[in-house]
Amino acid sequence: MTIHIGAKPGEIAETVLLPGDPYRAKWAAETFLDDPICVNQVRGMLGFTGTWKGNRVTIHGSGMGMPSLSIYANELIRDYGAQTLIRIGSAGAMQERINVRDVVLAMTSTTLSTPSSGMFRELNFAPCADWSLLSAAAAAAEAKGVTTHVGGIYSSDCFYDERPDLNEQMTRHGVLAVEMEAAELYTVAARYNRRALAVLTISDHLLTGAALPSEDRERSFGDMVEIALQAAFA
């Protein structure tokens, strides 16, 4: 057990999927895993371990924002031996060619700051995905016929952003989408020499105002979970 995770030794798998929402973790575990067992309920942050095609998998909520994710990623790696961590979450598109329901695979993640930025001081560390996961996820998405975009994203440290000038520059420089966790996940994984990837479903569009209807979210998010699972065990 740790301060934030109540799982017993051996109850966390080496492969962990990390949705931000603990109830999305519950839905994903019950939908995609065989015999899922709840292994954590501390602070309402649900975690479940089961199997997918005979492979042990944990699906564990990470909360909203990089500070919250950093807590869970550190403890899952340091105290439970997680080797592969894949964020599954939603994102807002920042390029006109990207549509809601599309999947974005984050090759890199730009950020203003992360909980780890104090370690680097003057260095602008460039957090990036694990190539084996990234390439396997791209292949899995293509096989499923899911429209997918691979490239850089932006991990914001605030949800209610009031910097349209910054968003304009990121769009100009090809940033695909915005979310709030991937940069810190990639940084923590690099620190411990672990594999990490963010697989993101576009739920809304910053430029067009389009948004994924609530009734379509489950099916679209399901594609993302399947891509993540296939990538993890390719």
Query: Is 102 one of the annotated binding-site residues?
Result: no
Class of the CATH-defined domain 15-232: alpha beta
Is 204 a residue of the active site? yes
Q: Which residue has the tokens 């399947």?
A: 226
Whole-prediction pTM: 0.96
pLDDT average per 10 residues of sequence, the chain (234 residues): 96 98 96 98 98 98 98 98 98 97 97 93 94 98 97 95 92 98 98 98 96 76 96 96
Active-site choice (21, 157, 161, 204): 204
Query: Is 4 one of the annotated binding-site residues?
Result: yes
Contact 60, 17 (CB under 8 A): yes
How do the domains of the chain map onto residue ranges? 15-232
Q: What is the pLDDT of residue 52?
A: 98
Query: Is 89 one of the annotated binding-site residues?
Result: yes
Query: Is 90 one of the annotated binding-site residues?
Result: yes
Q: What is the pLDDT of residue 36?
A: 98
Residue positions counted in the chain? 234
Query: Is 101 one of the annotated binding-site residues?
Result: no
Question: Among positive and negative, which fits the CA dihedral 120, 123, 129, 132?
Answer: negative
User: Which ranges in 3-148 belong to alpha helices (H)?
Assistant: 22-32, 66-78, 117-120, 131-144
